[in-house]
Amino acid sequence: MVVTDKRYTQDNFPTYSKSRERGEYFYTVRLYRNRSSFMSTESGLQMMRMILGFIEAKVTVIDATIQSQETIDYLVLICSSPAHSQIFSRIVYPACPHAIIEEMTSGRVEEYLSTRAVRGLRADRIPHFETVRSVTRSKRFLLALLLEYRALMSETGYIPPLQVAERESGYNCDLRLPFLLVEMDNRLCGIPDFQINTIQNGANGAKIVSLDSSYGHRLLVCNDVLCIKELDVPSIRVTGKIDHGLYACSSFVQGKPFPFSLILPALMQ
């Protein structure tokens, strides 16, 4: 099922006309975002609304629609700005670095708004949904294999030099992934959020984390669920094995080392 949230239900032509009178450029901004399986659809929509708010503070938004299908959230908006395309990209990317930006002519904007006015709210599929889902799955499997490879190499005594990890981090900004941080046996542990299926309450305040069967169907009993933090996967250095499927490692957060224990379900017994 596709959930559609049209953010501008009023007549958008006056806003468009004012932008055209000011001689501004018109742009389409599209953003796909993958949501964790254990997070609700509403949380994904709320995140997109927040991103839209950041964009609204910088440009004139004429029309915006948010859609959610399975675990993929999609934001598309029409906006105007006095900045030409290169400057406009620098304005938008801090709020949504993975956005797809396309410059539009005034004629195309009029056609878009007219079509929206006639069609109203329709629960169409997210554009290119199957392609986005396939690319996302492939990327996740490859990054999971990278972490598992580094973990196995650490068991042989090989640890990548710190400066290599730092250099890789600077060139792979698109390889950041959200990690769920939990407390297990008085350890700060992290696991990529896409490897988690559900989180449920257990006995005595514990949390039961169910792992996705694609990466090893298991249940983890955690003392507490702390937060979700984005980490740059190429910068993660696995420094040693603690237990089956549990490895000491460190990454960089805002230029400072961030040590934690990495959970790898595929390497558990």
Q: Which of 119, 151, 181 is the last residue of a domain?
A: 119
The pLDDT tens digits of the residues spanning 182-218 come to: 999 889 999 998 888 888 888 888 889 888 877 777 8
Q: Which of 62, 89, 119 is the last residue of a domain?
A: 119
For the chain, the domain total comes to 2
Is the domain of 81 the same as that of 154?
Answer: no
Tell me what the mean pLDDT of segment 157-176 comes to.
57
Q: What's the CA angle centered on 174, arms 189 and 41, to 5 degrees?
A: 65
Is the domain of 262 the same as that of 140?
Answer: yes
Q: Do the domain assignments include residue 75?
A: yes
With beta carbons less than 8 A apart as the criterion, state whether 41 and 33 touch.
no
Q: Could you tell me the two tokens for 118?
A: 């006639």
Confidence at 36, pLDDT banded by 50, 70, 90: confident
pTM, rounded to two decimals: 0.81
Is the domain of 114 the same as that of 141?
Answer: no
Is the domain of 142 the same as that of 251?
Answer: yes
With beta carbons less than 8 A apart as the criterion, state whether 148 and 140 touch.
no
Can you give the pLDDT at residue 169? 44
Show Cβ contacts of residue 77 under 8 Å, excluding neighbours closer than 6 positions.
Answer: 28, 29, 52, 55, 61, 62, 63, 64, 65
Write the CATH number for 27: 3.30.70.1110
Is the domain of 147 the same as that of 107?
Answer: no
Is the domain of 97 the same as that of 136?
Answer: no
Is the domain of 136 the same as that of 260?
Answer: yes
Is the domain of 33 the same as that of 160?
Answer: no
Q: Which of 69, 86, 119 is the last residue of a domain?
A: 119
* Partners of 252 in beta bridges: 257
Confidence at 168, pLDDT banded by 50, 70, 90: very low
Residue 55: C-alpha distances to residues 21, 22, 78, 122, 155 (Å) = 21, 19, 11, 24, 46
pLDDT over threshold 50, residue 57: yes
Strands (E), the chain: 2-6, 25-34, 60-69, 72-81, 100-104, 176-184, 187-192, 196-201, 207-211, 219-222, 224-232, 237-243, 246-253, 256-263
Q: Residue 179 sits in which domain range?
A: 129-267
pLDDT over threshold 90, residue 75: yes
